[in-house]
Chain A
Amino acid sequence: MSHEATAPPRRHVSVRVTAGAVIVLLVALLGFAIAVQVHANSGTDSLENLRTDDLLGILDNQDQRADRLRTEIAQLQNTLDQLRSSGDRSSAARRQAREETQALGVLLGTLPAHGPGVVVTIGDPNHHLAAEDLLDVIEELRGAGAEAIQFGNRRVSTDTAFTNVNGSVAVDGAVQVAPYTVTAIGGPKTLDTALNIPGGVAAAIRTAGATMSVAERQHVAITVTRALPPMTDVSPTGH
């Protein structure tokens, strides 16, 4: 203290000014550093300011995580493949079942059908034909491979009955009036040939005193359907 008191005032002042300037500079530097550091820390990439071992730890964690995720992806891929293949199988089975249902529906007469076939017109003005004669026509068509048959306004199926009722013919109990129209789906040529074979159905019908004509068509439609009779006694046996 004593030497400060004896020092020249000018020098004392200049030292004080210098010290003040240095302090100001340092404090300004501190403020600058604070702002810079805060800015760097709040940047998007916080990894920048981490140490090597921390980074290594993070990298390790990420590697393990990636491995886990890769395993998970493989498992999920596997599951997806399994589900997809089982989906293929079940969709194939469904398609097959649908096709079977349609084929059975056409055979049993529960579904309308269309396709190439023949239209048979049988004229019987003098009521010479009996149920057996008309059944013969149906049998001949079936034998020639007809897949769906409509007789008048009735669909012909497995349990269709032709009966004689008071000199008329009834199909499944519905009385038919001549001329009878029979529509059959199948190979038109085959059906035509089968009906008109010498000594066959057509010849028998003409011999009985009735007329019969067969028209081959590239497209006939059978729109009449029938309901399945409920099964009361039978139950299917699984295979």
Chain B
Amino acid sequence: MIAAVALIIGVVAGLLLHPTVPTWLEPYLPIAVVAALDAVFGGVRARLDGVFDAKVFVVSFISNVLVAALIVYLGDKLGVGSQLSTAVVVVLGIRIFGNAAAIRRHLFRA
């Protein structure tokens, strides 16, 4: 609940301040957002499964973001940046869908 409020506060702050993204962060921000979304969905699912652990969530959140950024960085250096970020988005998207399906089963029993 508090997390949802925090999310809304963050969105509102982003909308009100609308800062420009620094150039060095531009390639990583979208991937990082998707990775963080994956972590959040995983956290919600764990919460509903009753196995939520704050430490696991924090670590998975941060590591997800860092790994995603690292993969994009590596891809850019190897010259396959766009393909690799597509791959990351696909994989994270599949995971998000899986987690969302589990959450749905919990919430609606369907």
Name which of A29-37, A71-79, A133-141 contacts chain B: A29-37
Q: Do residues A19 and B55 form an inter-chain contact, with CB atoms below 8 A? A: yes
Partner of A32, one of B2, B10, B30, B55: B10
Q: For B61, what are the chain A residues with a Cβ–Cβ distance below 8 Å?
A: 26
In the bound complex, do residue B82 and residue A28 qualify as a contact, i.e. CB atoms below 8 Å apart? Answer: no
Number of interface residues of B (CB under 8 A): 36
Chain B: residues with CB nearer than 8 A to chain A?
Answer: 2-3, 6-15, 18-21, 26-27, 29-30, 32-33, 36-37, 40, 43, 54-55, 57-58, 61-62, 76, 79, 81-82
Tell whether, in the assembled complex, residue B54 and residue A31 are in contact, meaning their CB atoms are under 8 Å apart: no
A27 adjacent to B10 (CB under 8 Å): yes
Top 10 A-B pairs ranked by shortest CB distance? Answer: A35-B14, A31-B10, A19-B54, A28-B10, A32-B10, A28-B6, A31-B11, A31-B7, A24-B6, A32-B14
The minimal Cβ–Cβ distance linking A148 to chain B, given in whole angstroms, is: 86
- Output the least CB separation between B77 and chain A (Å): 12
Contacts of B37 in A (CB 8 A): 30
Is A54 a contact partner of B58 (Cβ separation < 8 A)?
no
Expressed in whole angstroms, the Cα–Cα distance for A29 and B58 within the complex equals 13
